[in-house]
Amino acid sequence: MNFNYRLQPKHHLRARIRIVTLAIGASLALMLVGCATIPGSGKVEVGLTDLEQAEQFFQFTATGPVIDASQEDLVRGFVAAAVSSVDDYAVAREFLTTDYAAQWDPYFGVLVDEGARNYRSDGSAAGVLSLSATAKIDVAGQMLPVEPGPATDLRFEFERVNGQWRLSSAPSGIILDKSTFKSIWADNQLYFVGPGNVLVPQTRWFIARAAMPTEIVSALLEGPRERMRGSLHSGFPAGTALVSKSVPVVDGRARIDMTTELLEASPQALAEVRAQLTLSLQSVPGVNGFELMVEGTPLREASGGTEPRTVTEASLPAVLVDGELGTIAAGEFSPIEMYGDRIGELDPLAVSMSNDGARAAVLNEHGVTLLDAQGNQLADGRAHQLAPSIDLFRYLWTSTAAGQLQARGSDNVPAPITAPWLAGLDVAAVRLAPDGSRIAALVASEGGAQLLVGGVIRDERGAPLRATDEADTEMWITGKPVDFDWVGSSRLSVLSADGLVTKVTSGGPGRFSEAQGSISGGTHISGGGARAHLRLLNDEGELFAPQAAGWQRNDDNIQLLAKRG
């Protein structure tokens, strides 16, 4: 199979698919639908139709079927040709029968695999391609990992057309190995607005091409992913659209021309719109600013709105040494004077501090105690509790291994927080995202662990009301779950045990998971807001910091590693 590596335009991926976890069966049913579920009629829904106008940074061109190709060669050639989207995947459609060529939908999503694909016949007119799936990208550019396990089987059916084999059924969507996918697609942070006027990133994947500004602005107009719509919003008024369905870039500035619905936006909504656009477009190559217009007329900035803020607070590692809580910088320990030896006297099992350091929550055998400048107060005396969290709004979150969540404000009155997706699970740890709009839970699963991320629904004052009804599995981890933490607002690091060795896996919503080395006997991990402040503690009291692809021991005689938030 010969083809040159050149990337062609691809439709904008618009619709959404609701997914809780990606077991292999669900992955097949939802993204790469086999012949049993492919419709026999009906129109194919597509995204952008101006395929030829979008200049690509790279292009893939492919060759069509060869004369007297075997069934296996036909399948492999079809998969290879589907990398090129030129002329609405015209070359890939040459591998299909005339009837099915009009039905096959390449824009349904992308299945990313490791590249090894075994083929086997299934009777005289069908075949199965087996691959090791890693992740799927749905039609909105949202990535979710595929659960490790048996190979994913994709079924193809054949018919003879003028003496040549052609495919009469094939999975919807396209298949790319991980290396090819990462060379074509780019992950971008789209920003939406959460409680407290905070900007929250969501990772989306788009083909690296000149049309990327159009796709990013269109995605902002559509709003946050469905699972998070109770927690996040976009500042654009309902019905707002691009006038020409494109965002041209002239002299480095994106010209964003909107319909008149944008004029209905309040000053606060306009402040949100401008902040969303500024951060969401900042990493696009060749774009160094934007001009916002309505029907061709530049839109003036309105006064009275408060620009949303990002949560980017990085903090030095906080540790317990000789009964005192303090920070470590360049090997020097600095006690936090307001706590003195109060935390050490509680025989802590875990400690979480507020971002400003003014409050600390301590877990011990009696429950969770809240400490501040006024004193100590037992906040939650339930048994079998996990390490607590203190969120952006200074609410204390406590939870049990059965996933029973509570939140407490300054009045220390417990408010049960329902999270239906935690029911019946063995929960190892729960952490609030730095922005306060998402909650993650590390739970045990058969053969390892998984990291679930759901939304937090709050009232207008920031008080938490409940979690979203469903959550996404954002990471699958091998080994027994030990601990995890957020590293900024879009990444997570997980500690899991495999015998005497504990491994670190990094990833997060919309990201590929990657091994990040291991240490012996790891017990706690703290994110600190940035990778430079990420720390590990083992059962010998040794503190480790990241170095290249592994870990470097920095300090010892550490009693406990605290978390922020």
Interval 146-171 mean pLDDT: 95
Query: Has residue 19 got a pLDDT over 60?
Result: no
Q: For residue 73, what are the contacts with CB-CB under 8 A and spacing of at least 6?
A: 1, 65, 66
Q: How confident is the model at residue 58 (pLDDT cuts 50, 70, 90)?
A: low
Q: What is the pLDDT of residue 57?
A: 55
Q: What is the pLDDT of residue 40?
A: 29
Q: What is the pLDDT of residue 499?
A: 87
Mean pLDDT of all residues in the chain? Answer: 88
pLDDT tens-digit profile of 197-223? Answer: 999 999 999 988 889 999 999 999 999
Cα separation of 497 and 477, whole Å?
10
CATH dotted code for 318-564:
2.120.10.30
Backbone angles phi, psi at 263, to 5 degrees: -65, -20
Q: Where are the domains of the chain?
A: 24-183, 187-298, 318-564
Q: How confident is the model at residue 514 (pLDDT cuts 50, 70, 90)?
A: very high
DSSP 38: S
**Structure pTM?**
0.86
189 - beta bridge partners? Answer: 203
Interval 91-113 mean pLDDT: 95
Query: Has residue 11 got a pLDDT over 80?
Result: no
pLDDT tens-digit profile of 364-407? Answer: 999 999 999 889 999 999 999 999 999 999 999 999 999 999 99
Cα separation of 232 and 246, whole Å?
25
- Render 421-486 in DSSP notation, one character per residue: GGTT--EEEEEE-TTSSEEEEEEEETTEEEEEEEEEEE-TT--EEEE-S--EEEEEEESEEEEEEE
Q: What is the pLDDT of residue 68?
A: 96
